[in-house]
Structure 1
Amino acid sequence: MNDFLLVQMVSAERLKSGHELKVPVLSELKNSLAGVSGEQRTATLLTRELDLSGDFVLLSDVTIPYKDSSVQIDLLVIHANFVCVLEVKNMIGDFYFDSVNYQFHRVIDGRREGMRNPEAQVHRAVKAVNGFLGVPVQGVIVLTSRSSKVVDAPKLYPVVSLDYLPFHLEKMVEGSPHFDVAKLANKLKKLPPQEISKSWLARHQISFDSLRLGVTCPTCRTCSLIWRDRKWHCEICGFHSRDAHEVTLQEYAVLFGSELDTRFAYRLLGVENKYVLYRLLEKSAPKSRIRGKRQIIESRELLREYFSRIYR
C-alpha cells in the first residue's frame, strides 16, 4: 500500500456518514484496490516467468514529474534493449478504442460506460519516461482479467492479456544492448516523492472538519472509543485497548502531515483532560520546538497492518 492508497482508505473510513463525498470516495477506493490487485498479479507473474537474456529491472508504482504535474506508472520494465511502460487494467467487459477521436468505452451487462482512455494514459506515461530518461520508450496495455475482450483495438499501443505478457516482452529483445540498466533504474529511484496525496485531498476538498473524529473502534469501525480507566473502550462491542489512538495519529499524519496542533489533538482523539492528552501523546507525538505543536512519529507500517485486516 503506497501513501496514495492509504489516503483513500483513511478518507473512506473517516468521512462522515451521509457526507456528499462518501460514495464517490468509496467508488474511487474500490477502483484503486482493483488496480493494485491487477498490478500485484502482473508483477508476480513477470517475476516468476519473464525470461529475458541479460539484466532487467521491474519497477512498480513509479511517479515521474511531467510538465506542471506528474504521471503515475503502474509498472516499468528496464532492459538493456528496451524500456517499456505497462499500463495495467483490471477490468471486465467488451472494450472499444476509438482510433479517430481517441475515446474509450466498455460494454458490460449490456450497458455502455465511457471511461478514461488507457491508450491516452499509456501515451502520456511513455512521453513522461522518455522525457525524463532521454531514451526511446515503448508502451503496452495489459488486461489482467480473463473476462475482458477487446472488440476495437487501439491504434498506437498493443493490448495484451496478462498470460501472454511475458512472451510479448521477450519478443522485444532484439539487436545489441544499448541501455545502462543500473544507471536508468538509479535515476528513477532517486526521484523525490511526489505530493499526489495532497492534490487528491485538495481536489475532493477534504478537510479536517469533513471527517468523523475520535479513536475508531477497529471492530465496529464506525464508532469512537471512550478513554476510561487508562484504556480505550467500545461501549457497543466491548473492545478495549491501551494504544488504539496510535492508528488515529497515523491516519492524521498520512492525510495532513506529521505536525499536529495541540488544539486539534483534543478533537482528534476525543479527550478533554490535558493530562490524559499529554500521556497519550508523550511517546507517539512529542512536543516540537514550536509552541502548541506536536510532531507525530510516523509509522506507515502500522497503518498498512491495520488496513490489511480490513481490506483483505
Structure 2
Amino acid sequence: MILKPREVPTELKTLRLLRPRMNLPDEQRYIYLEKGFKGEQQLDAWLEDLTTDCFVINDPLLNQNRNFFQIDKMLIFQETIYLLESKYSKGDFFIDDDKWKTISGIEIQDPQLQLKRSETLLRKLLQQHRMNFSIESTLVFTHSEFYLYNAPPKLPAVFPNQIHRFLEKLNRLDSKMTYKQNKLAEKLLALHLDKNPHTQFPDYDYHELKKGVVCVSCRSL
C-alpha cells in the first residue's frame, strides 16, 4: 500500500519552470536533479510487482535533532524497514581500498555515506519515539549502463541485473500489517516535512524572464 506517492521535488519543479525563460546559474544542479528523479521513477517501476503486505512511503523528509534527511523509498514490513536509495549513475566505476572511483581513476563520493547517515538518524528517531524495528539499507543502481568493478559480495547494493531476484526476496517475506506498523507509518507521515530548509532557489526578476508558452513535450518556448 502506497501511503505517500512520489511527487516531482519542489526544487526540480521550479527549475523546470525557470529553465526555458532564463539561463540557470547552475545548469549542472538541474541535470543532477533530473537524473536523480528519473532514477527514482525507475525504482518505482521495478517495484510495481511487489506483492508482500507492506507500506510504501516515497521521499519522506525527516528531522532528527535538526539533522534533516530524506529517503528515496521506505518499505515498512512486519519487522523490518527497508531504506532504498536509487543511484542513476552511468558508466564504469571501481572500488579501490574502500574508495569509489571512475574508470579513469577520479575519486567520487562514496554513495553509501548518505544512506548510512539516513539509517543512523532514522534509528535514533525510532528510539526517540520508542518504536522497535530493524532497518536494512540498500543502494539500488537503476541505470542499465552502470557497472562496478571489484564490488565486495557484502556490498549492500542491487544492480540492474539483480532487481528481479531482489524483488523475489521481498515477495518471500512473511509480513502482515498490524496496529504496530500502522502506528509507525502514521508517525512517520506526521513527521514528514513538506519543505526542505536547505533547498536554494535561483534569484530571478519576473520582468527579465522570457515570456511565452512552454511546450509540454520539449519544455522550450
TM-score normalised by the chain length of structure 1: 0.56
Q: Does 1:310 align with 2:219?
A: yes
Query: Percent identity at matched positions?
Result: 21
Change (3 A) 1:192 1:88: closer
Change (3 A) 1:27 1:128: same
Cα pair 2:54 2:177 within 8 Å, conserved: no
**Deviation for aligned residue 1:162:** 3.8
Q: Determine the structure 2 residue equivalent to 1:39.
A: 40
Q: Secondary structure at the match of 2:94?
A: strand
Change (3 A) 1:188 1:308: farther
Q: Determine the structure 2 residue equivalent to 1:3.
A: 10
Q: Does 1:217 align with 2:211?
A: yes
Q: Determine the structure 2 residue equivalent to 1:182.
A: 182
- Of 78, 81, 84, the residue aligned with 1:80 is 78
Q: Determine the structure 2 residue equivalent to 1:132.
A: 125
For residues 186-213 of structure 1, the C-alpha deviation after alignment (integer angstroms, 9 at most, x for no partner) is 11111242542x5232xx7x4xxx4242
Q: Does 1:152 align with 2:61?
A: no
Q: Determine the structure 2 residue equivalent to 1:258.
A: none
Q: Which amino acid aligns with 1:93?
A: G
Q: Does 1:106 align with 2:102?
A: yes
Change (3 A) 1:56 1:144: same
**Deviation for aligned residue 1:308:** 7.3
For residues 196-244 of structure 1, the C-alpha deviation after alignment (integer angstroms, 9 at most, x for no partner) is 2x5232xx7x4xxx4242264234x7xxxxxxxxxxxxxxxxxxxxxxx
**Separation in structure 2 between the aligned mates of residue 86 and residue 153 of structure 1, nearest angstrom:** 18
Extract unaligned runs of 5+ from structure 2: 1-7, 128-132
**Deviation for aligned residue 1:83:** 0.9
Q: Secondary structure at the match of 1:139?
A: strand
Q: Determine the structure 2 residue equivalent to 1:200.
A: 199
Q: Does 1:51 align with 2:47?
A: no
Change (3 A) 1:188 1:307: farther
Cα pair 1:60 1:73 within 8 Å, conserved: yes
Q: Secondary structure at the match of 1:105?
A: strand
**Deviation for aligned residue 1:95:** 2.3
Change (3 A) 1:29 1:192: same
Q: Secondary structure at the match of 2:112?
A: helix
**Separation in structure 1 between the aligned mates of residue 216 and residue 9 of structure 2, nearest angstrom:** 12
Higher radius of gyration, 1 or 2: 1
Cα pair 2:86 2:139 within 8 Å, conserved: yes
Q: Which amino acid aligns with 1:38?
A: G
Change (3 A) 1:85 1:308: farther
Cα pair 1:81 1:175 within 8 Å, conserved: no
Cα pair 1:62 1:74 within 8 Å, conserved: yes
Q: Secondary structure at the match of 1:150?
A: strand
**Separation in structure 2 between the aligned mates of residue 97 and residue 75 of structure 1, nearest angstrom:** 25
Cα pair 2:54 2:175 within 8 Å, conserved: no
**Separation in structure 2 between the aligned mates of residue 308 and residue 68 of structure 1, nearest angstrom:** 40
Change (3 A) 1:125 1:217: same
Q: Does 1:115 align with 2:111?
A: no
